[in-house]
């Protein structure tokens, strides 16, 4: 907590300087989808997603940049927001806000031509990013040979996005949360870097206090991903571990292992295809965990300017961790970015 207060104070002190004229931009996207449910009644197959993002930036006389961001949800109400002080002391970016989480941003970074393996709703998977949407303070900086480090601290992970001059009350029993992500471009390593150009290693860890009562445990998340490219091919392998923690004293915590694989090929500048898979193993003392949920998907993506047309055919065995259950989907999506 003391470190957090010091960082906030430093961000404020460094920002107290005459600012140059800033600029504001609005970006966004809309997507319409048609999805067919193979194993159950489809109903209305049409869906839509829409997003807006407002961004502004300026530069202070001392060289520090200040950028702000506000996005919206599907109902165009306020979503996440963040203010970032860039280049503090010429070394570190400091931000305050609720723009997702560092682990949520890498929940599946294996390459795909359209959607990740279960991105169109085939199967139900546990995921990292339990601290997404929480108000926290974060740091981003580079370390020689190690790579880019991004870390965030949430004083109280209660889901509250306070207005200014306000603090959340002592409601709920959740405590604090921390997360860290390290991204290393292996081609930058000394000696062996020449052999590893194009490869990237991404690692992340998060801990969240699910309950402040005695005899409970924290939520733990871990990610390790290796991605790379060779010519028109892109490939990636990723492992995730999710320990949901104990919210009730002396109960057993559910534990999940997730494995993702992605192989994509760019046929030309506009057209690409990919094969994606995702598997989930479950440890649950109250259920049969001897089987694995398994999703395999074929993706096709075609991009023309700001428009992308995508197709996914996904098949899931033991869907939702139910033995022999199937959840297959076929999805066509058209998205436009502006």
pLDDT averaged per 10 residues in sequence order, the chain, 338 residues: 45 48 84 88 89 92 93 84 94 91 93 94 90 93 94 90 80 84 92 87 95 81 97 97 83 87 98 98 75 95 95 95 92 95
Question: What SS3 string covers 166-232?
Answer: CCCCCCCCCCCEEEEEEEEEHHHCCCCHHHCCCCEEEEEEEEECCCCCCCCECEEEEEEEEEEEECC
Give the pTM: 0.85
CB-facing half-sphere around the CA of 207: CA atoms within 13 A: 4
Q: How many structural domains is the chain composed of?
A: 1
Q: Domain of 78: which CATH number? A: 2.40.160.10
Output the CA torsion 126→131→132→134 (10° steps). 150
Q: Which residue has the tokens 């995702």?
A: 278
* Predicted local confidence at residue 204, as pLDDT: 97
Full domain range(s) for residue 117: 2-337
34 three-class SS: strand
* Predicted local confidence at residue 109, as pLDDT: 96
């Amino acid at each position: 907590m003391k470190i957090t207060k010091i960082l906030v104070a430093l961000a404020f002190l460094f920002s107290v300087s005459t600012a140059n004229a800033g600029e504001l931009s609005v970006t966004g996207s809309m997507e319409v989808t048609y999805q067919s449910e193979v194993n159950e009644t489809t109903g209305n197959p049409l869906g839509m997603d829409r997003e807006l993002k407002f961004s502004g930036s300026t530069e202070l006389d001392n060289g520090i940049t200040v950028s702000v961001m506000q996005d919206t949800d599907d109902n165009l109400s306020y979503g996440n927001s963040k203010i970032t002080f860039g280049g503090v002391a010429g070394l570190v970016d400091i931000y305050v806000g609720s723009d997702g989480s560092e682990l949520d941003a890498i929940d599946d970074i294996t390459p795909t031509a359209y959607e990740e393996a279960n991105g169109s709703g085939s199967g139900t998977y546990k995921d990292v990013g339990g601290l997404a949407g929480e108000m926290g303070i974060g740091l981003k900086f580079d370390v020689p040979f190690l790579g880019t480090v991004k870390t965030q601290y949430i004083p109280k992970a209660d889901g509250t996005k306070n207005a200014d001059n306000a603090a959340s009350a002592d409601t709920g029993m959740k405590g604090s949360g921390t997360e860290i992500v390290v991204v290393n471009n292996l081609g930058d390593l000394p000696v062996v870097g020449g052999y590893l150009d194009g490869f990237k290693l991404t690692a992340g860890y998060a801990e969240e206090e699910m309950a402040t009562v005695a005899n409970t445990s924290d939520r733990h998340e871990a990610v390790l991903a290796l991605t790379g490219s060779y010519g028109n091919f892109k490939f990636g392998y990723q492992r995730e571990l999710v320990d949901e923690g104990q919210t009730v004293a002396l109960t057993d915590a559910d534990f999940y292992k997730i494995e993702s694989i992605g192989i994509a090929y760019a046929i030309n500048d506009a057209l690409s295809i990919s094969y994606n898979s995702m598997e989930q193993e479950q440890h649950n003392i109250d259920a049969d965990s001897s089987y694995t949920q398994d999703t395999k998907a074929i993706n096709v993506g075609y991009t023309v300017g700001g428009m992308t047309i995508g197709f996914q055919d996904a098949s899931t065995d033991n869907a939702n961790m139910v033995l022999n259950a199937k959840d297959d989907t076929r999805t066509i999506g058209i998205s436009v970015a502006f």
